[in-house]
Amino acid sequence: MVAILDERKRQVLFAIVHDYIQTAEPVGSRTIARRYELGVSPATIRNEMSDLEDMGYLAQPHTSAGRIPSDKGYRLYVDSIRNIPALTAAEVELIKRHLGSKLRGQEFILEAAARLLSSLTNYTSIVLGPATAAARLHALQIVPLDLSRAVVMVITDGGLVVNEVVELPDSLTHHDLAVLCEMTNRACTGRTLSELRNLDLSTVLGAFNEGISAFESAMDQLIGSLQRKESEHLVLGGATNILNQPDFRDMQKLRNVLKVLEEEALVFKLVTSAAASPASVNIGSENPLEELRECSIITATYSLGGPGIGHISVLGPTRMEYGRVMSLLRFVSQIISEK
Amino acid sequence: MVAILDERKRQVLFAIVHDYIQTAEPVGSRTIARRYELGVSPATIRNEMSDLEDMGYLAQPHTSAGRIPSDKGYRLYVDSIRNIPALTAAEVELIKRHLGSKLRGQEFILEAAARLLSSLTNYTSIVLGPATAAARLHALQIVPLDLSRAVVMVITDGGLVVNEVVELPDSLTHHDLAVLCEMTNRACTGRTLSELRNLDLSTVLGAFNEGISAFESAMDQLIGSLQRKESEHLVLGGATNILNQPDFRDMQKLRNVLKVLEEEALVFKLVTSAAASPASVNIGSENPLEELRECSIITATYSLGGPGIGHISVLGPTRMEYGRVMSLLRFVSQIISEK
DNA sequence: CATTAGCACTCTCGGGCAGAGAGTGCTAAC
DNA sequence: GTTAGCACTCTCTGCCCGAGAGTGCTAATG
């Protein structure tokens, strides 16, 4: 970190990263000298490579194999990407067609985006619906099922509906419920979910029936499940794409990654924490899950009408086409946000 | 099929199936003679095995390897299982604890069942919510979002909620919508979804506003999405368990199976068609998807209060512990149905 | 003094080979 | 009909060897 790399070292490093990303094979000095016009001999490059390894930018699978970039090497490479590469006209056209006009409903858009990204990149894509905490309640409805259960439905201004079955205290009558529904509705409509979470129900309902404070627990249930729901708006695309990546020929590595992808809660944590970090790229060991220390994840955000932002990300091996994925993500999230 | 196997051939076949299920290795004549008390020499068993192979019950990976059961062999084995093995007390206790009393909501029960089955069997479990076609509408609510969109929510008597955003014709006013909602609600409540599908809306709404027949298309949308939703109530458990099965050490086979599991629509088709066949066990090539010709799927049904039945199944290699899985499935579906 | 040619060295990978092990199929004896 | 014996086949493992790729070092060079 302290010493900035001189120009030629950078060139060598980037050549190695570039080559390794394409071939997935450790790259040697001769290859660099041949394929990239650096104007120096392999021997010189060897010296530079040796230095770069000492500095921690490269690693060597074994003596007498070529070098591969370390996480630190990738990091420098990614940080140096100033102008992310332009998409081809074909890609732009494809994206526009698939995310085009007449997609109804948030679900469909997100699913389409996930499918699209995974097929374009051959990596796994993860799309997270807009965080609901900032969304405003459009309406809250309580529909009784029978005397002991009711369905509570919340509609946000973004058109998202979440619902939950709640247990009711035995003591409620039908009429109680109707009034209750009316009052709750009036109290909640227009507020954000996070406001709702802090709302003291007794002040709202106190005037009506001070006796049935037990109802509060039912509302607590709903609020709890709203928090849960927040993490559930998750769409995976191309989870099996890692099978195509030579990096995961090893069954043990494969298992690690697939196991994570199977757990919604983990994926959720992964994406949100990746997005929380200032950079939108998390490389290998930078990311919070030990199991994904051979993966990188690139994240972009979008907003879909409402105030909450959503996340859209691509998960692949550290040997990832960073530039291209960044361009794609940027463009796709832009298209989505335009709706 | 024409000739029934004589007793000793059956014993040999079943011994091979049994051994192969446990070891995943081709089993030879010596092994059978040693491990199973048939009272005959390896040579005799070899003769029987040769016959069984001619009849199509066994196959040989290569000359001079042991035999493995063919699909036909498994089929005979499964059909011969009269008394499925009893569960251990520990298993019974475990299942009861995990599916015990206080699970609220269909979602939770189904998820718990899926998780439980996959961890008990080390295979993949698939749980399908009760078919909604037979469920009765408890309530239908239309909540306008803005002038061009509304959320239509349907609550079944089972407590299941499905909702959909529909586009509205421009010509509707707020007041129209309110009346419309009221009328639709009255017309639909108490009917089954399949009745609803055939309902002629014009007879219901005709009296009110003959002009806005365009509304029919909106309702068509909802009904279409209801059909879609039907297939969406799908919970997978332990999809990565196949990684642990030696049968799928080969990356190509793995890819086939995982690819299917990734596609909800395919999985849905798989389970429903498997359940449609009279036997609850589909072995290898018996099942409808080419990609799963090395898998078997065992299915049971349950009912959850309402009239619709749900499916619960386990997908594993053809080399599956049929008896045990059948017992587990039977017990779990029974426990679920008791709710 | 940075660069480079030359060279010895190391490590992997693939092919070839031999021996062990497992299993079969056949034949002849019981 | 059953079985012992035996030759045969096939896989798997370990081993060796040579080819290939790549490095690191040294000494020469501009």
Query: How do residues B136-156 score in pLDDT, each as one tens digit?
Result: 777 777 777 776 777 777 777
Confirm whether B103 is domain-assigned.
yes
According to the model, what pLDDT value does residue B108 have? 82
Residue A217 has pLDDT above 90, yes or no: no
According to the model, what pLDDT value does residue A265 have? 87
Q: Which nucleotides of C are covered by protein (CB under 7 A)?
A: 3-6, 9-12, 21-27
Q: How far apart are CA B317 and CA B248, in angstroms?
A: 8
How much is the average pLDDT of A301-318?
87
Nearest to B293 by CA among B317, B262, B320: B317
A184-198, A207-221, B93-107: range with lowest mean pLDDT:
A207-221
- The total of other beta-carbon atoms located within 10 Å of residue B275's CB is 20
Which among B138, B164, B258 has CB closest to A145?
A: B138
Residue A176 has pLDDT above 90, yes or no: no
Instruction: List, for residues B315-337, the tens digit of each pLDDT value.
Output: 999 999 999 999 999 999 999 98
In this structure, the answer to whether residues B267 and B124 fall within a common structural domain is yes
B43 touches strand D (CB under 7 A): yes
User: What is the nearest CA distance from B74 to chain A, expressed in angstroms?
Assistant: 28
**Among B181, B208, B230, residue at a domain's last position:** B230
- Chain centroid to Cα A65, Å, comes to 35
- Indicate the SS3 state at residue A327: helix
Which among B161, B165, B240 has CB closest to A104?
A: B165
In this structure, the answer to whether residues A219 and A148 fall within a common structural domain is yes
Round and report the angstrom distance from CA (A64) to C1' (D16): 21
In this structure, the answer to whether residues B195 and B311 fall within a common structural domain is no
How much is the average pLDDT of A235-241?
95
User: What is the nearest CA distance from B306 to chain A, expressed in angstroms?
Assistant: 13
Nearest to A104 by CA among B218, B174, B143: B218
**Considering all CA atoms of chain A, what is the largest pairwise distance in Å, rounded to the nearest integer?**
88
Confirm whether B1 is domain-assigned.
no
- Indicate the SS3 state at residue A303: strand
User: Is B125 within 8 Å of B314 (Cβ atoms)?
Assistant: yes
Confirm whether B310 is domain-assigned.
yes
According to the model, what pLDDT value does residue A1 have? 47
Mutate to test the interface with A, among B149, B165, B242 (most CBs of A within 10 A): B165
User: Is A117 within 8 Å of A314 (Cβ atoms)?
Assistant: yes
In this structure, the answer to whether residues A99 and A168 fall within a common structural domain is no
Confirm whether B53 is domain-assigned.
yes
- Chain centroid to Cα A259, Å, comes to 17
A137 to chain B: closest CA residue: B145
In this structure, the answer to whether residues A75 and A153 fall within a common structural domain is no
User: What is the nearest CA distance from A17 to chain B, expressed in angstroms?
Assistant: 27
| B258 contacts on A by Cβ (under 8 Å) | 239-240, 243, 258
> Is B266 buried (19+), middle (13-18) or exposed (0-12) by CB count in 10 A?
middle
Nearest to B130 by CA among B107, B114, B97: B107
CA nearest to nucleotide D2 C1': residue: B44
Give the nucleotide with minimal C1' distance to the Cα of A42. C4
**Cα separation of the two ends of chain B:** 42
Backbone phi, then psi, for B338, in 5-degree steps? -75, -5
Residue A136 has pLDDT above 70, yes or no: yes
How much is the average pLDDT of B93-113?
83
Which among B165, B243, B259 has CB closest to A254?
A: B243
CB-based contacts of B234, cutoff 8 Å, min separation 6: B126, B127, B128, B129, B264, B267, B268
Q: What is the count of structural domains for chain B?
A: 3
Secondary structure letter of residue B63 according to DSSP: T
Would the CB atoms of B159 and A149 count as touching at under 8 Å? yes
**Residue A61 tokens, joined:** 């699978």
User: Is B139 within 8 Å of B108 (Cβ atoms)?
Assistant: no
> Of A32 and A107, which is predicted with more confidence?
A32
| A153 contacts on B by Cβ (under 8 Å) | 141, 153, 161, 163
According to the model, what pLDDT value does residue B203 have? 64
| Percentage of chain B lying above the pLDDT 70 cut | 82
- Chain centroid to Cα A101, Å, comes to 24
Would the CB atoms of A145 and B157 count as touching at under 8 Å? yes
According to the model, what pLDDT value does residue B210 have? 43
> Of B143 and B273, which is predicted with more confidence?
B273
How much is the average pLDDT of B172-182?
74
User: What is the nearest CA distance from B242 to chain A, expressed in angstroms?
Assistant: 10
Confirm whether A1 is domain-assigned.
no
**Among B204, B230, B256, residue at a domain's last position:** B230
A275-289, B97-111, B322-336: range with lowest mean pLDDT:
B97-111
- Taken as a whole, chain B contains a residue count of 339
User: Is B314 within 8 Å of B330 (Cβ atoms)?
Assistant: no
Cα-Cα-Cα-Cα torsion B93, B96, B102, B106, nearest 10 degrees, comes to: 150
| A141 contacts on B by Cβ (under 8 Å) | 141, 143, 153
CB-based contacts of A163, cutoff 8 Å, min separation 6: A151, A152, A153, A154, B153, B161, B163
Would the CB atoms of B243 and A262 count as touching at under 8 Å? no
- Indicate the SS3 state at residue A59: strand
Confirm whether B316 is domain-assigned.
yes
Would the CB atoms of B153 and A145 count as touching at under 8 Å? no
Please provide the average confidence, as pLDDT, over all residues in chain B: 84
User: Is B150 within 8 Å of B142 (Cβ atoms)?
Assistant: yes
Please provide the average confidence, as pLDDT, over all residues in chain A: 84
Block residue for tokens 């050490």: B249
Residue A58 belongs to domain with CATH number: 1.10.10.10
Backbone phi, then psi, for B24, in 5-degree steps? 65, 20
**Torsion sign across C-alpha atoms B97, B103, B108, B109:** positive
A44 touches strand D (CB under 7 A): no
Give the nucleotide with minimal C1' distance to the Cα of B65. C23
Going from the C-alpha of A50 to that of each of A63, A193, B49, B51, B231, the distances in angstroms are 12, 56, 63, 66, 58
| Percentage of chain A lying above the pLDDT 90 cut | 51
- Indicate the SS3 state at residue B335: helix
Residue A2 has pLDDT above 50, yes or no: no
According to the model, what pLDDT value does residue A206 have? 56
According to the model, what pLDDT value does residue A247 have? 93
- Taken as a whole, chain A contains a residue count of 339
In this structure, the answer to whether residues B48 and B104 fall within a common structural domain is no
Instruction: List, for residues A8-62, the tens digit of each pLDDT value.
Output: 999 999 999 999 999 999 999 999 999 998 889 999 999 999 999 999 999 999 9
Nearest to A336 by CA among A15, A151, A101, A153: A101
Q: How far apart are CA B237 and CA B33, in angstroms?
A: 39
- The total of other beta-carbon atoms located within 10 Å of residue A64's CB is 7
Which among B161, B165, B258 has CB closest to A105?
A: B165
**Among A170, A201, A230, residue at a domain's last position:** A230
**The residue type at A169:** P
How much is the average pLDDT of B40-69?
94
Residue A327 belongs to domain with CATH number: 3.30.450.40
In this structure, the answer to whether residues B36 and B177 fall within a common structural domain is no
- The total of other beta-carbon atoms located within 10 Å of residue B110's CB is 24
Confirm whether B2 is domain-assigned.
no
In this structure, the answer to whether residues A167 and A257 fall within a common structural domain is no
Secondary structure letter of residue A131 according to DSSP: P
Q: How far apart are CA B256 and CA B266, in angstroms?
A: 12
| A155 contacts on B by Cβ (under 8 Å) | 143, 145, 151
In this structure, the answer to whether residues A203 and A250 fall within a common structural domain is no
According to the model, what pLDDT value does residue A232 have? 60
Nearest to A66 by CA among A19, A107, A100: A19
Residue B171 has pLDDT above 90, yes or no: no
**The residue type at A177:** L
A27 touches strand D (CB under 7 A): yes
Give the nucleotide with minimal C1' distance to the Cα of B42. D3
Give the nucleotide with minimal C1' distance to the Cα of B30. C23
| Rounded (to 5) percent helix, strand, coil in chain B | 50, 20, 30
In this structure, the answer to whether residues A126 and A270 fall within a common structural domain is yes
B84-93, B241-250, B270-279: range with lowest mean pLDDT:
B270-279
- Chain centroid to Cα A208, Å, comes to 44
> Of B226 and B95, which is predicted with more confidence?
B95
User: Is B142 within 8 Å of B253 (Cβ atoms)?
Assistant: no
Sheet architecture: strand order including A234-237: A234-237, A124-128, A309-317, A295-303, A281-283
In this structure, the answer to whether residues A106 and A246 fall within a common structural domain is yes
Would the CB atoms of A251 and B239 count as touching at under 8 Å? no
What angle do the packed helices B106-121 and B89-98 form, to 10 degrees?
150
Residue B209 has pLDDT above 70, yes or no: no
B37 touches strand D (CB under 7 A): no
Domain enclosing residue A194, as ranges: 137-230
Give the nucleotide with minimal C1' distance to the Cα of A28. D22
Confirm whether A2 is domain-assigned.
no
A62 touches strand C (CB under 7 A): yes
| Chain A interface residues (partner B, CB cutoff 8 A) | 104-106, 138-139, 141, 143, 145, 149, 151, 153, 155, 157, 159, 161, 163-165, 167, 238-240, 243, 249, 251, 254-255, 258-259, 262
User: Is A247 within 8 Å of A292 (Cβ atoms)?
Assistant: no
Residue A172 belongs to domain with CATH number: 3.30.390
Residue B101 has pLDDT above 80, yes or no: no
CB-based contacts of B8, cutoff 8 Å, min separation 6: B38, B40, B48
Give the nucleotide with minimal C1' distance to the Cα of B32. C23
In this structure, the answer to whether residues A207 and A243 fall within a common structural domain is no
Round and report the angstrom distance from CA (A40) to C1' (C3): 8
Q: pLDDT-based confidence at B211, cuts 50/70/90?
A: very low
Residue B236 has pLDDT above 90, yes or no: yes
Round and report the angstrom distance from CA (A318) to C1' (D26): 37
Query: Where is mean pLDDT largest: A212-226, B44-58, B140-154, B170-184?
Result: B44-58
Residue B3 has pLDDT above 60, yes or no: no
A225-229, B178-182, B193-197, B305-309: range with lowest mean pLDDT:
A225-229
